[in-house]
Amino acid sequence: MRTFHAVMLIGAIAVLGGCSSMSEKECLATDWRTVGYEDGVAGRSGDRIGRYREQCSEHGVAPSLSEYQAGREQGLREFCKPANGFRVGARGVSYNGVCPADTDDAFLDAYQSGRQLYSLRSRVDSTANAIRSARAEMERLDQDLITVGAQIIDSSTSSERRAQLVLDSKHMAERRGELRARIPAMQNDLAAYQRDLDDYSASLPYVE
């Protein structure tokens, strides 16, 4: 019987996490303290109990609010540790203000430190991606210019088509020139952003 309830509990938590409908057996077998703990340790809002109540009301079953709240409060004590706040912020995850008043300030300070780290990393990544995209576009333009050049000198190309191809090649060459001129500035930005990230990372009291 204990094995059966353990299986049912695992299944119920999985269903709850996916916001799918719960069966009558799942509603009856669920340990609501454990569900509350799982929601608390994940930093989820306490209003999720309303979803569980709605799902189980179809089977005439009411979740234990007191058990859920007790479990969630225990879980929040784990979630609301400053080191975890830093990890949450560093991953770019939103904070919903769920921590108790006596832990919120320390958690929020650490969260904001992590969030700053996330922002600095994102700036480095987006700039590096922009450089890669610019280089890839230049390579495509080089290939297109070769193709267009071959069509221009092809004797079977009509004069109207040739005139359009010449104009197209001019625009492509201009675009390539713009990209070539922009890349050094982006590389300088990337180097500066990486220094900012390294300096900030070195100053942090936490390690992700």
Tens-level pLDDT at each residue, the chain (208 residues): 433 343 334 344 444 544 457 788 888 888 999 999 999 999 999 888 998 988 898 889 888 999 999 999 999 999 999 999 999 999 999 999 999 999 999 999 999 999 999 999 999 999 999 999 999 999 999 999 999 999 999 999 999 999 999 999 999 999 999 999 999 999 999 999 999 999 999 999 877 6
pLDDT of residue 29: 84
What is the per-residue pLDDT for 208? Answer: 66
What pLDDT score was predicted for residue 28? 86
End-to-end CA, the chain? 41
Per-residue model confidence (pLDDT) at position 90: 97
Q: How far apart are CA 201 and CA 27, in angstroms?
A: 46
Domain boundaries defined on the chain: 2-79, 103-203
Predicted pLDDT of residue 30: 87
How is 114-178 classified by DSSP, letter by letter? HHHHHHHHHHHHHHHHHHHHHHHHHHHHHHHHHHHHHHHH-TTS-HHHHHHHHHHHHHHHHHHHH
Retrieve residue 23's tokens: 């069966």
Give the pLDDT of residue 21.
Answer: 74
The predicted pLDDT at position 20 comes to 58
With beta carbons less than 8 A apart as the criterion, state whether 16 and 35 touch. yes
Whole-number pLDDT of residue 206? 76
